[in-house]
Structure 1
């Protein structure tokens, strides 16, 4: 397995990943040990589109462009999504500093000021790789400019409809979260499933994912109901599920706020003992663990173990907690830094190296890319307990491959 990140780990760590970590290159062993100062990238203003903001050179060493690979970071660092985008941008800076990387020039382009202008500027500036964008509806716009120019993308989106050759999705894909929790529930004896999904493209895909996962696990899908998020639609969906037949597990494929509103409706409708299942959307919402009605619910997500270590370091440097999604920014830089070790200056980004079947290791655990741009992750199952999420079935440590 290629190492994109090696976290500080307990001496008790064992197995293949622990062994590989000991053999990792020195640059990645320095992660979480770097103490140099950082500069927080900010978005800019300009009539011709967002001016670029360059990340700092590690150790304040000034290098010429001829010594570094140019990589563009396309994010909304102002506007409505500015907090999340800025947190991801901060994470990329932290990753560059932690790895003491000196051969990557990272430049931030603010998509909140116009995604078309941002990507055109990024390509015109000679960037060989794009990290981002964040929003799924921006991915196609960026790809329409980047692909003809031969510039591959590693997007932070999880919209599977946007993936394709040279357009890789680093975002956590809902289909994998659904499949993981359904298979785990089936292994624990739950056989008859129901589903609550939003009336949206996301909901349609979630419904299809749930159907396929239940079938593959050998269970029975009794009924799937759509909701628009309102109390009326939630109550109606709960009653229809209860009337559809015996259901011993219900997947709520929506965010934490909707799940918190849906569980009481399911209990009131008669599904008093059904196991509640969810997706990784719950992992970014602290209110789920704080709500007593959500206790004992299960959902599948990336592991939080390494994220907690990263969050402490992020907080110490930037003075605030990171967005849960910021780990995507950190891992994207670790991945690129790893590939850049053998990336010849002046050449195109070696995109074929992204599809190493052994995958990579990052803050969010093991992951790998397929040639179609989709990512695959090793997920764990978590249980909602009083004020916390507890791991009840750990993520596999790596991918089984044959060579």
Structure 2
């Protein structure tokens, strides 16, 4: 585990002060292992035993700051995004100069349950993370028993509840936003190209609901497997159905860019292409000519670009797009810490502030089910860049 120190400054406002909070945010930017013993000759007799001073287990007690645990993967295949999240929390502490929060990082790659147990034993009253849905499910019962809320970075809605909150970008909200925008532009007939698997199932359910809410019609919904020829077969089946004005491709940018030329050739060549929140995490999405003119909804990149520049200057590398969740989780914690007495349980009810909070990714608030509701913008891929065609709301009613 690693401990991050903090430096003093006011936090970021939430609730009714969202607009002022965005101004403040802008100003911030501008301003244990097993040892393998080799075989060999018998070792010499040990030296005389020296009595060492007794050290209390865990990390030192901090009576001035709130103990907050960050649970992210720092080793294994997800170490890159985990380290980026950890760096983002450090940057948030430096930018806000809060004296009231101390963050200690624990590696979930060696076991999320064990990381949560260590964090709670060390006296942490709030857990930020984990990243993966399965880790959230492993951590939640342990944290719940200790009355420690979990504000995770996952978008796995099946992991929410029992004291676990999700800050991740939920596909259903992105799909609803882009469908509403398309309907406002006169589009009424929709089709969907959906991958098999959990994400595809959730995306298709959200899509059907979104189109129904917009009073449109889904005329074709085809699934595919991630094997050669499957997308072509799905689009061929789709071409036999009724014509459609917009096609949602519920997958990453590379898959969408490969599917669009096929759709143009054998399907409805004039249809508008729609994407999901997955596209916002791909820095090269705008450079794919096949996606020119496509729409997708996501969190705003306005403050993120400034954050990314500061991150690169400090850490010598570009951040992962998801790292902004770590930054915003710290801002949320600092905001609540103003009225949270050190040494007492985290006031979980404050997470349900209906006015919401402000962060790099814009305004957000937790719904009653614990999923972060976000103010999203709609972007269009145009000439090698992305252009905002419908701005995100600055707050909640």
TM-score, scaled relative to structure 1? 0.86
1:186–1:219: 8 Å Cα contact kept in structure 2? Answer: yes
Per-residue deviation, 1:32: 3.2
Instruction: State the partner residue of 2:41.
Output: none
Aligned residue number for residue 38 of structure 2: none
Answer yes or no: is the 8 Å Cα contact 1:70–1:128 preserved in 2.
yes
The answer as to 2:247 corresponding to 1:250 is yes
Structure 1 counterpart of 2:261, from 260, 264, 267: 264
- Mapped to 2, the partners of 1:317 and 1:183 lie a distance apart of 39
Secondary structure of the 2:219 match is strand
Distance 2:334 2:17 in 1: 22
Matches within 5 A, 1:3-402: 5=12, 17-19=18-20, 31-32=28-29, 45-46=32-33, 65-400=62-397
Distance in 1 of aligned mates of 2:26 and 2:304 = 17
Q: CA deviation at 1:21?
A: 5.7
Inter-partner Cα distance in structure 2 for 1:195 and 1:183:
15
In 2, distance between residues paired with 1:91 and 1:293?
33
Q: In 2, are the aligned partners of 1:53 and 1:108 still within 8 Å (CA)?
A: no
Displacement of 1:316 after TM fit?
0.8
C-alpha displacement of 1:244: 1.2
Alpha-carbon RMSD across the aligned residues, in angstroms, is 2.3
Give me the whole-angstrom Cα distance separating, in 2, the residues matched to 1:355 and 1:46: 40
CA–CA distance in 2 between the matches of 1:271 and 1:110?
A: 48
Q: Distance in 2 between matches of 1:358 and 1:344?
A: 22
Cα deviation code 1:124-151 (max 9, x no counterpart): 1111000000011111001121111111
Kindly state the Cα deviation for residue 256 of structure 1 after the two structures are TM-superposed: 1.2
Deviation at 1:277, TM superposition (A): 0.1
Q: Residues 203-233 of structure 1: CA distance to partner in whole angstroms, max 9, x if unpaired?
A: 1111110000000001001111111122311
8 Å CA contact 2:12–2:334 kept in 1: the answer is: no
Closer/same/farther in 2, CA of residues 304 and 29 from structure 1, 3 Å limit: closer
Partner SS, residue 342 of structure 1 = coil
SS of residue matched to 1:250: strand
Alignment partner of 1:67: what SS? coil
**Residue 33 and residue 385 in structure 1: after superposition, are their counterparts in 2 closer, same or farther (change >3 A)?**
closer
Q: Secondary structure at the match of 1:391?
A: strand
How far apart are residue 74 of structure 1 and its match?
Answer: 0.3
CA contact (8 A) 1:165 1:371 kept: no
Q: Which has the larger radius of gyration?
A: 2
Preserved contact between residue 331 and residue 363 of structure 1 (Cα < 8 Å): yes
What's the secondary structure of 1:168's corresponding residue?
strand
Equivalents in 2 of 1:219, 1:370: separation in Å?
26
User: Which string of whole-angstrom CA distances, capped at 9 and with x for unpartnered residues, describes residues 346-366 of structure 1?
Assistant: 110011011110101100000
Shift in CA distance, 158/268, structure 1 to aligned 2, threshold 3 Å: same
Task: Provide Cα deviations, 1:324-359, integer angstroms capped at 9, x if missing partner.
Answer: 100000000000011001100111001101111010
- Does structure 1 retain, via aligned residues, the 8 Å contact 2:26–2:303? no
Q: TM-score, normalised to structure 2's length?
A: 0.87
Aligned positions, number? 365
Q: Quick one: distance in 2 between partners of 1:206 and 1:339?
A: 33
